[in-house]
A and B are shown apart, each in its own frame.
Chain A
């Protein structure tokens, strides 16, 4: 007989069973509430098969028929590009205003942090809907929405990157009498540049996918084409467009990854 105290395996088993049962119950109730039958996906699979039947073989003539598909690809890329460019610039500016080491004035900093939070928390659906009303449907509304998304996603991140720089170089420059702007230019910017560029490349990647999604809401680009094709039940066109989308996204991702590795790798060597 041992006098050591330890948790009996049977007790642990009971604990595990309890946790599991409660979780399963919660999920089960949630499914019942939403009228969702996960098994239904498999028992009703014939719907998927029917759809797949209509979707194949993909109709790549959409590319040749008129220039609109090819143009929409260009449009989607442009949307992502502009959204990243302008969104990135604004995000960086706001980040400098929101970071504790580059903005000593609490009031401005608070304001900047607040706006960044606002950009982050506003539902994208609202943004796109409003822009579509304000500037009309099409790629421009999409671009503006992407700008907002980019600021929201990366503003806070950039602020954190700025705050995480080493203080030493900045202090050294400050102590020889440089102004705050000079400290930023010579101490902060070189430190954050690789991370910044890497994130912007990543933002481009993310914005590509978002641009496609926004297109469905009237944002233009290939997403819009997709929605159009689907609404007239041209499923073969839909498949073709989806495959183009997949290729596009993968290509952009690979390029973005490659450039990011080059930038970060290069800096390591420096």
Chain B
């Protein structure tokens, strides 16, 4: 479970980019965060794993074995420990290109491995076995030894998901995971993420309302730093207009048009 309470953050010039963001996500939910550019979606996501520190508010992460931690208040060391159990999937290049897919997956557990051992010995064969299983889940096991720099965008994203799976996380975060992918790859990725929500809460930022409508269990819309919608992933045209305003035309509608969305 992850609970966000009243996040605020202002720029040095005074502009509030996060203005009292609050929501709660439980296991079993796949939440998609939508909103126009600059609304604060990505900033919110970055607060969820401590890459960004808000001016005020709290982010409480709690799994079944412990009583929650507030990300905003923990020390650096504790943050690292918590991050071991948070899986992240980013939009762009976030794999180490020169290393193989297998090695990239195993990197997911670096936080859980003793530093000296990881640096001087590397990974164990047992870890490699488990990593292969994670790769099999995303159907990338046949390319285990390929340097990720040689993979396509969709393949890289699948390796990233395998890495997240390998961490045995209690929370999965995704920052525009399908924005760089073509429609068929995007669908496969969404199909792979969706079942993970049964094990842990999944929170993702998206620019594709038609995708969230189809795969997410819940949608949160953020505009100008505030949550303006929290509920059913299927949005009406009027709601979309209210969220995106003029940007609506730029949102990638590779397969669907808005009317199709509504009738879906």
Contact = CB atoms under 8 A, between A and B. Distances in A.
Interface of A: 2, 4, 6-10, 12-13, 16
A12 B132 contact: no
A2 B125 contact: no
Contact of A4 (B100, B122, B125, B142): B142
A9 B127 contact: yes
Nearest to B121: A13
Among the interface residues A4, A7, A10, which one has the most CB atoms of the partner chain B within 10 A?
A4
Interface residues of B, number: 19
Contacts of A4: 132, 135-136, 141-142, 144
A7 B141 contact: no
Interface in B120-147: 121-125, 127-129, 132-133, 135-136, 141-142, 144-145
B125 A6 contact: no
A11 to B, nearest CB: 9
B102 interface: yes
A100 B106 CA distance: 52
B136 A12 contact: no
A6 B133 contact: no
Nearest to B144: A6
A88 to B, nearest CB: 41
A208 to B, nearest CB: 39
A6 B127 contact: no
Given A8-B128, A9-B127, A9-B128, A2 B133 contact: yes
B122 A2 contact: no
Contacts of A16: 122
18 contacts: A2-B132, A2-B133, A2-B141, A4-B141, A4-B142, A6-B128, A6-B144, A6-B145, A7-B100, A7-B102, A8-B128, A9-B124, A9-B125, A10-B124, A10-B125, A12-B122, A13-B121, A16-B122
Contacts of B129: 2
Counting from the closest, the 4 A-B pairs by CB-CB distance are: A6-B144, A9-B123, A4-B141, A2-B132
A9 B102 CA distance: 10
Nearest to A3: B141
A105 B122 CA distance: 59
Contacts of B136: 2, 4
A92 B125 CA distance: 60
A4 B144 CA distance: 8
Contact of A6 (B102, B121, B122, B124): B102
B123 A6 contact: no
Contacts of B145: 6-7
Contacts of B132: 2, 4, 6
A7 B144 CA distance: 9
Nearest to A2: B132
Given A9-B128, A12-B122, A16-B122, 13 more contacts: A2-B136, A4-B132, A4-B136, A4-B142, A6-B102, A6-B128, A6-B132, A6-B145, A7-B145, A8-B128, A9-B122, A10-B125, A13-B122
Contacts of B141: 2, 4
Nearest to B124: A9
Contacts of A12: 122
Nearest to B126: A9
Contacts of A8: 125, 128
A34 B228 CA distance: 74
Interface string B109-128: 00000000000011111011
A234 B141 CA distance: 70
B98 to A, nearest CB: 14
A93 B106 CA distance: 58
Contacts of B122: 9, 12-13, 16
A16 B133 CA distance: 25
Contacts of A9: 106, 122-125, 127-128
Nearest to B120: A13
Contacts of A6: 102, 128, 132, 144-145
Nearest to B136: A2
